Chain A
Amino acid sequence: MMRLSLPVLTPLAVLGLATMLTWVERRLLGLWQDRYGPNRVGPGGVFQAVADGVKLLFKQDWVPPFADRGVFVLAPAIGMMTVLLSFAVIPFTAMGGIAGGMNVGLLFILAMMGLGVYAVVLAGWASNSKYALLGGMRAAAQMISYEVFMGVSLLGVVMAAGSFSLRDIVAAQGRVWFVIPQCLGFCVFMLAGIAETHRLPFDLPEGENELGAGFHTEYSGLKFGMFFIAEYAGIILVSALVTTLYLGGGLGPVLPAAVWFTLKTCGMVMFFILLRAALPRPRYDQLMALGWKILLPLSLLNVMATGTIMMLRATTP
């Protein structure tokens, strides 16, 4: 029963959580900006997400006549699919996720994130309009370059755990969470994760003040909703990844693993929202310079340091 229900329930739960996250984010932004945020629909405004969903559902689902229709429809589906597939290997509990202890889980997630670039690029391309194309190109450059050090920064964790399987990585953190020995990698991975989900402050692909809405300028109705939900699911995914890789996953005293995992992930999600509330958006060239000139050397340094320490440990008895 458990084996059957998990693959069905997880995507539904992720979609539901991502929808709720739109409300959570707005309430939290309100909290940090000394206001309330949406608090009218239902107790505390919890049904705001439902109201927004209904609104999106009844909007005209418009495909511009100048757009490349097939690709235009495909793009949001790709965005959604890659994020949801990534959740298959996240070990929510000690038993592991849907795909169980897939031995290349981390590689699978990196591959899915790589595919996620197609969603924004194809959306920008198929929209056949200037702002959308500019947004799509920016997204492509940003996501591809940040993927490089995302991968490199994760190498430290993989080396320390000796496995690509997320379950093994969690198990390897029994003594000390990787956030302490791998703190450099942790910082780089956080920044790369934000850039990868193109969230504020790195939301240049959709920077409203210069690009309209970026790659999803021409999208409306549920297709826009899919981009939106995919973005929020992406936040949950990156938070869950950080939890798994650096914060010890479900490890923790007293409480069951699933609760610890949820708590840590929620904390990370809130941190993501805090970043949005606090930080301004950098210029595009600053973003790229930060990536290639600072984060890439840092992540390489991290790999080198980890390797050196491991080698010294292995040689000295």
Chain B
Amino acid sequence: MLDTLRTLFLTFRHAFYRRATVQYPEQQPYLPPRYRGRIILSRDPDGAERCVACNLCAVACPVDCISLQKVEADGRWYPQYFRINFSRCIFCGFCEEACPTYAIQLTPDFEMSEYSRPNLVYEKEDLLISGTGKYPDYSFYHVSGIPIPGKDRGASERERPPVDIHSLLP
């Protein structure tokens, strides 16, 4: 009996508490930078696409929502098309973890509702952004040992020149 009255009183006291609701469209909730929302493809600091079409994201994806096709140009790999089906995506972030070049990233944006499902299939031009995303200085081709036009083998950052196997001199 007393418990019941106490419950009533405690519940009544909640009338003077602050409300937990965030009035969403007018009042935006704070989303941390590492929030897992809409997926984007970033570019390196030079403005070139970071994605090297290695397919690791597509393999890592548990719901198979990523599909892409590799093409080669000037010794670099590019995705010919890169397609994410957001009606399947579960925003797990595995693709971001799998990506060796920081190309695919999740962003703090979830406002992507559509009235028809096909509109949720994002193509490469929808996904590519002009910036570098969360990793401003990273450029895959400048740290990896792969030679590209304008950068020979051994010319990458923190990379020693290749060993000349025809010489015995140290």
Residues of A within 8 A of B (CB): 30-36, 274-275, 277-279
B20 at the interface (CB under 8 A from A): yes
Residues of B within 8 A of A (CB): 4, 7-8, 10-12, 14-15, 17-21, 23
Identify which of B4, B17, B23 contacts A34 (C-beta below 8 A): B17
Measured between alpha carbons, how far is A13 from B23 in the docked complex, in Å?
Answer: 33
Assess the A32–B19 pair: CB atoms within 8 A.
no
Q: Which residue of B lies closest to A275 (CB)?
A: B8
Assess the B14–A274 pair: CB atoms within 8 A.
no
Assess the B12–A279 pair: CB atoms within 8 A.
no
Assess the A32–B18 pair: CB atoms within 8 A.
no
Assess the B11–A36 pair: CB atoms within 8 A.
no
Assess the A35–B21 pair: CB atoms within 8 A.
yes
Assess the A274–B12 pair: CB atoms within 8 A.
yes
Which residues of A are found within 8 Å of B8, using beta-carbon distances? 274-275, 278-279
Q: How many A-B residue pairs have CB under 8 A?
A: 33
Assess the B19–A35 pair: CB atoms within 8 A.
yes
Which residues of A are found within 8 Å of B21, using beta-carbon distances? 34-36
Identify which of A30, A32, A35 contacts B11 (C-beta below 8 A): A32
Which residues of B are found within 8 Å of A32, using beta-carbon distances? 11-12, 14-15
Assess the B19–A34 pair: CB atoms within 8 A.
yes
Assess the A31–B7 pair: CB atoms within 8 A.
no
Assess the A31–B20 pair: CB atoms within 8 A.
no
Measured between alpha carbons, how far is A93 from B8 in the docked complex, in Å?
Answer: 31
Q: Which residue of A lies closest to B17 (CB)?
A: A34
Assess the B7–A279 pair: CB atoms within 8 A.
yes
Identify which of A31, A36, A275, A279 contacts B14 (C-beta below 8 A): A31
Which 4 pairs show the lowest CB-CB distances between chains A and B?
A: A278-B11, A35-B21, A278-B7, A34-B20
Assess the A34–B7 pair: CB atoms within 8 A.
no
Measured between alpha carbons, how far is A277 from B7 in the docked complex, in Å?
Answer: 10
Q: Which residue of A lies closest to B20 (CB)?
A: A34
A275 CB to nearest B CB, Å: 7
Identify which of B10, B14, B18 contacts A33 (C-beta below 8 A): B14
Assess the A36–B12 pair: CB atoms within 8 A.
no
Which residues of A are found within 8 Å of B20, using beta-carbon distances? 34-35
A256 CB to nearest B CB, Å: 28
Measured between alpha carbons, how far is A265 from B30 in the docked complex, in Å?
Answer: 43
Measured between alpha carbons, how far is A278 from B20 in the docked complex, in Å?
Answer: 18
Measured between alpha carbons, how far is A274 from B20 in the docked complex, in Å?
Answer: 19
Instruction: Name 29 A/B residue pairs within 8 A (Cβ), A-sorted.
Output: A31-B15, A32-B11, A32-B12, A32-B14, A32-B15, A33-B14, A34-B17, A34-B18, A34-B19, A34-B20, A34-B21, A35-B19, A35-B20, A35-B21, A36-B19, A36-B21, A36-B23, A274-B8, A274-B11, A274-B12, A275-B8, A277-B11, A278-B7, A278-B8, A278-B11, A278-B12, A279-B4, A279-B7, A279-B8
Which residues of A are found within 8 Å of B18, using beta-carbon distances? 34
B11 CB to nearest A CB, Å: 4
Q: Which residue of A lies closest to B6 (CB)?
A: A278
Q: Which residue of A lies closest to B18 (CB)?
A: A34
Which residues of B are found within 8 Å of A33, using beta-carbon distances? 14
Measured between alpha carbons, how far is A279 from B17 in the docked complex, in Å?
Answer: 19
Which residues of A are found within 8 Å of B10, using beta-carbon distances? 278
